[in-house]
């Protein structure tokens, strides 16, 4: 898909409550105002993602929230409707397996979206072939009726416009973070 200026606005329809994150499945959009933002999943009381550093698996929610609050990181929490068949424990283990298919985020190899795409394709049966960006994933999940609620911290707007970015900007972001990480 070419990057015509696609816009996707998110309606933040729930007040943030850390306790809510203990139940259910969430997409966490960290640094939501940055290009590109970072995304991971919260399932069964823990956070998991693929990053420049490697695989972030079973990070306690409290640690994620504490870091987000200390650094005042704009973050969205997108609750995904419960799966009709699979338990939270199964979903967590399945997503961890998806993260473990990649060593780390790397230019031309994988982004933080890669394990999330695998997860939704395998568990929910949603084709992800044409999904390359968060602003393409979320409208697709919404059209499938999978987005239940959205809350945020350190974002003031009630309707939030997701940043639109290109693969070139993702690669530049990866290189920038890699340099910061290695220095």
Which pLDDT tens digit goes with each residue over 59-115? Answer: 999 999 999 999 999 999 999 998 889 988 899 999 999 999 999 998 888 999 999
Distance CA 157, CA 95 (A): 30
Decide: residue 85, CB within 10 A, 0-12 exposed, 13-18 middle, 19+ buried: exposed
Domain ranges of the chain: 9-178
- Name the residue among 92, 91, 75 with its Cα closest to residue 39: 75
In the predicted model, what is the mean pLDDT of residues 44-57?
94
pLDDT over threshold 60, residue 4: no
Between 32-41, 138-147, 172-181, the lowest mean confidence (pLDDT) is in: 172-181
Its pTM stands at: 0.91
Distance CA 85, CA 71 (A): 38
Mean pLDDT for all residues in the chain: 90
In the predicted model, what is the mean pLDDT of residues 159-179?
82
Tokens 């393409």 appear where?
136
What token pair was written down for 31?
């640094």
Are the C-beta atoms of 144 and 126 separated by less than 8 Å?
A: yes
Collapse the DSSP code of 162 into the 3-class scheme (helix H, G, I; strand E, B; otherwise coil) and give the result: coil
Between 1-15, 40-54, 108-122, 141-155, the lowest mean confidence (pLDDT) is in: 1-15
Are the C-beta atoms of 42 and 60 separated by less than 8 Å?
A: no
Give the pLDDT band of residue 5 (cuts 50, 70, 90).
low
């Amino acid at each position: 898909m070419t990057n015509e200026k696609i816009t996707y606005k998110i309606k933040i329809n729930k007040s943030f409550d850390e306790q809510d994150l203990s139940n259910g499945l969430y997409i966490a959009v960290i640094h939501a105002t940055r290009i590109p933002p970072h995304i991971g999943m919260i399932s069964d009381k823990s956070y998991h993602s693929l990053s420049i550093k490697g695989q972030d698996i079973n990070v306690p929610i409290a640690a994620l929230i504490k870091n987000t609050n200390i650094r005042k990181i704009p973050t969205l929490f997108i609750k995904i409707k419960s799966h009709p068949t699979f338990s939270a424990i199964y979903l967590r283990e399945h997503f961890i397996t998806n993260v473990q298919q990649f060593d780390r985020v790397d230019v031309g190899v994988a982004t933080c979206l890669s394990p999330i795409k695998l997860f939704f394709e395998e568990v929910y049966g949603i084709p992800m072939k044409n999904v390359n960006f968060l602003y393409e994933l979320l409208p697709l999940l919404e059209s499938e009726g999978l987005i239940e609620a959205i809350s945020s911290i350190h974002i003031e707007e009630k309707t939030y416009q997701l940043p639109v970015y290109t693969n070139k900007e993702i690669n530049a972001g990866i290189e920038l973070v890699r340099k910061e990480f290695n220095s």
